[in-house]
Chain A
């Protein structure tokens, strides 16, 4: 197979890889914040349940969760499996990453000194204003390195979508590799991932620089 054909073919899957990546971030970052707030809820029941779900999502392989989300509804309720695999794949990824992000947010929120809340309270900020104007911006700066780590991992984790036959870049690469008994597709995949992560690094570096105006 000519290298150009191989790159084009895998490039088709790259669109799907990017879709998983972008949609997962889009959903899991806010969802993670919600989960973190539930986890820190004063209600023992709510925080207990949330903690349990987080432990399941972090304690079982993402591959298993992909299978559960994709085929679970069919086995449990006889529902048709979505033809568009992007939907279950993104749901599974978003939920899984939300659990990880939630713990990162929690660590960040708990690291903000109590004095910040007290100052905001005395100045008359509402709880909502306090969180979104005073606390969250500081949390975001503090958790940036951990979030970058997670995002880099996500780029590489997209390859797990092959489990449910989602034609993302690595799935196609693997198929070509075994069809053509060649390791070339793995090399191409490696280059693709590296480029994607270089872009992520660059972007996150820019964001971190932007947040560097204060300490």
Chain B
């Protein structure tokens, strides 16, 4: 009788201890019931956005979902506030930031684990048909809009500061939609914007033209917390499998605007 109680007690203690350890983080090695929370900017089509049915979708979302299926993880989406995405990642609100995110040296320096790049991005200039603007040189004295917090904005302040210096005025909007609306209404002459965003806009709206000079080449990747190298490896392996079995290309085919710049499909 005494023995039975002792065994029961020990079993209980073990369960408790295990619970404590596994409770420390959802990134523990035991894969079962792991929930992977993907941090996205829900305002960034075609990588991550709200679809016609009102659910989160986009190229990145679909790939992540498929990768989680491969890994047997539960998949969740968390809409970050893009200006604070790394704070929210640190604070454990999501397990990664995966949302057409430009890889910056500053992220690596800050210790974040960054995946292999998967997408080549350039900045393009979106203008109205018949605006007479044919190259970046024509922007001299013109009013140009850029989205706050994007790599385009960072570039214009840094690497492309000389170009920005020729603008008549640089207007910062807090969303692409506002940039485009300003352009459409004639409030600005051009929008400095990520190529895929411009592509998908032009595909749906008439009367606009893209000027692509390969400005500000950059790459997209996934950011994880500093101690999540293992998680990053697993996701990368799962994505590699998706590339292998053709799922990746299948999903990419749904997003013709970005298909050509996907690095895994170019190899």
Contact = CB atoms under 8 A, between A and B. Distances in A.
Interface of A: 1-2, 5-6, 8-9, 67, 71, 74, 80-81, 83, 162-165, 167, 171-172, 174-183
Interface string B82-108: 001001101111000000000000000
B248 interface: no
B181 interface: yes
A interface, over-half SS? helix
A6 B177 contact: no
Nearest to B78: A165
25 contacts: A5-B52, A5-B54, A9-B54, A71-B87, A74-B91, A80-B92, A81-B91, A81-B93, A83-B93, A163-B81, A163-B84, A165-B79, A165-B93, A175-B49, A177-B175, A178-B42, A178-B45, A178-B177, A179-B42, A179-B43, A179-B51, A181-B45, A181-B176, A182-B177, A183-B177
A167 B43 CA distance: 13
B42 A5 contact: no
Contacts of B175: 174, 177-178
Question: What is the interface residue range for chain B against chain A?
Answer: 20 to 34
Contacts of A177: 43, 175, 177
B52 A1 contact: yes
Interface string B45-67: 10001111110000000000000
B112 to A, nearest CB: 16
B205 interface: yes
A175 B50 contact: yes
A140 to B, nearest CB: 38
B44 interface: yes
